[in-house]
């Protein structure tokens, strides 16, 4: 790797480099290429270089992507977006790798190195619930699908294949999933309810991606009667949170789980005007949520207008920021990751 | 600084490849992990030879170990920034070899960071020359690799 330095010193230097330089230096020589593209190096580099997250927003009406960075004063600044050759929705991003999906298609995309990996078609039918997470013991990304026929399959990026997972008792045909899971502390979390004769009991279904086992978390008692479509489970500033947004109204409650699994209603905020909150996305950084408000339609226009706002719970400030078109999907990701560099 | 080893105090004598002898305190010598085991067995008349270290580099290493502030991370940062400020790429290389050989506490990381900063916007050719790497790609293989990652070659410094 060098005619005068031990390999271990060269490796230490390379671990300090930003991802762009490393990708460029895969052309230095075969040993450099092998080191930089090795799974161990990718994991070490991608987990040890913290960079502030960016916000990706996908505009379904015109199929384009915008990227924002949030500076310390919490203004959203548009920056150059990576090319986005997909029409899929964001599911989740973990360690700089964005999982996109639509129907049977699941793609893992690393915007930092402009590389994507199409996961082989799953073996089972349509999914009721889908999740994405990182197994930090085996340094492995995993996609989990819970299908209507009450079977569960898991894809491991390291193993490169789907396999069946034992189905716990609580996963049955009547279980309905929220469309946006979140990943926190090694677990995928979905908001679920049983749509059957026994009523509409809601809870949070968890999947530990390392142990590959399901778990269950009780739901805020006061939200049990809330309309399922108005609820969202998300991560806000590293806290597992449930958002309750009244449709066609302009307020939203944020519930957070504290010690011993006790839920507390922490914040309520208003976004006055418009025709109600249409969607809310939590951000794990900056203690912020992004709120989409549906705005009054302009005359002679067939399009629906949305405006984007941020709510920061520590300062309880609501701020408006400008974004074009209808935003259908928002995702936060950490740039600088090398994951997928080793994939053909 | 260089002088003959004399059986006085309990200082350690280190001899560089260019024949100079440096006397350092055990506290300083002990931070060079490679010579640690030799210190235990040496008495005040022992001279430890350092085949990979020139006087210039050992002077810098001692300057670092003696001058580094004990506390306050901001003071350490300022000291380290000053320490590497005027090093040429060639001096950096030499120091990196010496520091890597002696395994000097803290300094390996500082050197790695400094070299990383130096090369992060450099071309592939610059890096090959700097590290003395032989390009073992065929022209076709290299062209393919570069084309695959063409975006990573934007905005590279002139050599």
| E strands, chain B, in order | 12-15, 21-24, 47-49
pLDDT at A23: 97
Mean pLDDT in residue range B5-11 = 57
B159 contacts chain A (CB < 8 A): no
CA distance B72 to chain A (A): 23
- Residue A79 lies inside a defined structural domain of this protein: yes
> Under an 8 A CB cutoff, do B131 and A9 touch?
no
- Rounded average pLDDT over A133-151: 92
Judge whether residue B6 has pLDDT over 50. Answer: no
Most confident of A244-258, B29-43, B88-102: B88-102
Determine whether domain B12-119 maps to CATH 3.10.20.600: no
Distance from CA of A9 to the nearest CA of B (A): 7
Take residue A101 and report the two structure tokens written for it.
């999906």
Q: pLDDT band at residue A74, thresholds of 50, 70 and 90?
A: low
CATH number at residue A297: 2.120.10.80
A267 closest CA partner among A259, A276, A280:
A280
Lookup result for tokens 């005040």: B44
B3 pLDDT band, cuts 50/70/90, is very low
CB contact under 8 A, A21 and B97: no
For residue A3, the chain B residues in CB contact (below 8 A) are 131-134
- Answer whether A16 touches B (CB < 8 Å): yes
Q: What ranges do the domains of chain B cover? A: 12-119, 124-153
Residues of B in contact with A344 (CB under 8 A): none
Beta bridge partners of A196: A199
**Quick check: helix, strand or coil at residue B109?**
helix
Query: How many CA atoms lie within 13 Å of A75's alpha carbon, on the beta-carbon side?
Result: 4
β-pairing, A317-321 vs A251-257, is unpaired
- What SS3 class is residue B118? helix
pLDDT at B5 over 50: no
User: Cα A158 to the chain's mean position, in Å?
Assistant: 20
Mean residue pLDDT across chain A: 83
User: Over the stretch B76-126, which tens digit does the pLDDT of each residue have?
Assistant: 889 999 999 889 999 999 999 899 889 987 898 899 999 999 999 999 999
CA atoms within 13 A on the CB side of A24: 22
Residues A121 and A132: their CA atoms lie apart, in Å, by 16
The four Cα atoms B135, B138, B140, B141 give a dihedral, to 10 degrees, of -70
Domain that holds residue A309: 37-333
Closest CA to A37 of B132, B134, B157, B145: B145
Mean pLDDT of A145-173: 86
What pLDDT is recorded for position B8?
Answer: 47
The answer, for B47 touching chain A at a CB cutoff of 8 Å, is: no
Split into its structural domains, chain A has a count of 1
In a domain, A5, yes or no: no
Residues 6+ apart with CB under 8 A from A314: A287
Assign residue A187 a region (left: φ > 0; alpha: ψ between -120 and 50; beta: otherwise): beta
pLDDT at A61: 63
């Amino acid at each position: 790797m060098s005619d005068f330095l031990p390999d271990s010193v060269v490796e230490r230097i390379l671990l300090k480099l930003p991802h762009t330089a490393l990708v460029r230096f895969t052309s230095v020589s075969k040993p450099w290429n092998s080191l930089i593209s090795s799974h161990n190096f990718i994991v070490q580099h991608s987990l040890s270089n913290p960079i502030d997250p960016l916000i990706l927003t996908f505009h379904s009406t015109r199929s384009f992507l915008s990227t924002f960075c949030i500076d310390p004063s919490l203004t959203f600044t548009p920056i150059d977006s990576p090319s986005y050759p997909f029409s899929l929705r964001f599911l989740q991003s973990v360690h700089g790798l964005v999982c996109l999906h639509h129907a049977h298609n699941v793609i893992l995309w690393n915007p930092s190195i402009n590389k994507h990996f199409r996961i082989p078609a799953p073996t089972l039918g349509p999914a009721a619930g889908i999740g994405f997470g990182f197994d930090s013991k085996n340094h492995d990304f995993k996609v989990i699908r819970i299908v209507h026929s009450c079977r569960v399959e898991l894809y491991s990026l390291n193993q490169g294949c789907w396999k069946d997972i034992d189905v716990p008792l609580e996963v049955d045909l009547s279980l309905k999933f929220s469309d946006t899971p979140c990943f926190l502390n090694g677990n995928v979390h979905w908001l679920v309810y049983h749509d059957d004769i026994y009523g509409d009991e809601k809870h949070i279904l968890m999947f530990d991606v390392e142990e590959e086992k399901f778990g269950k978390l009780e739901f805020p008692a006061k939200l049990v009667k809330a309309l399922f479509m108005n609820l969202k489970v998300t991560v806000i500033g590293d806290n597992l949170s449930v958002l309750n947004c009244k449709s066609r109204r302009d307020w939203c409650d944020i519930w957070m789980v504290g010690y011993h699994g006790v839920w507390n209603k922490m914040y309520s905020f208003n976004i006055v005007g418009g025709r109600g909150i249409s969607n809310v996305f939590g951000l794990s950084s900056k203690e912020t949520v992004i709120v989409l408000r549906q705005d009054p339609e302009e005359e002679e226009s067939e399009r629906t207008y949305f405006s984007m706002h941020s709510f920061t719970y520590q300062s309880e400030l609501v701020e408006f920021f400008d974004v074009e078109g209808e935003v259908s999907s928002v995702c936060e990701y950490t740039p600088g990751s090398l994951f997928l560099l080793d994939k053909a | 600084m260089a002088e003959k080893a004399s059986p006085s105090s309990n200082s350690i004598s280190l001899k560089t490849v260019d024949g100079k002898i440096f006397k350092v305190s055990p506290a300083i010598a002990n931070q060079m992990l490679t010579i640690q085991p030799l210190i235990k067995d040496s008495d005040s008349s022992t001279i430890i030879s350092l085949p990979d270290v020139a006087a210039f580099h050992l002077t810098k290493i001692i300057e670092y170990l003696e001058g580094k502030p004990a506390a306050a991370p901001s003071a350490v940062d300022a000291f380290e920034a000053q320490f590497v400020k005027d090093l040429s790429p060639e001096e950096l290389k030499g120091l990196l070899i010496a520091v890597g050989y002696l395994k000097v506490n803290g300094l390996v990381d500082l050197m790695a960071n400094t070299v990383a900063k130096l090369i992060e916007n450099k071309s592939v050719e610059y890096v090959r020359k700097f590290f003395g790497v032989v390009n073992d790609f065929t022209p076709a293989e290299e062209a393919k690799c570069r084309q695959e990652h063409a975006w990573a070659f934007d905005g590279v410094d002139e050599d």
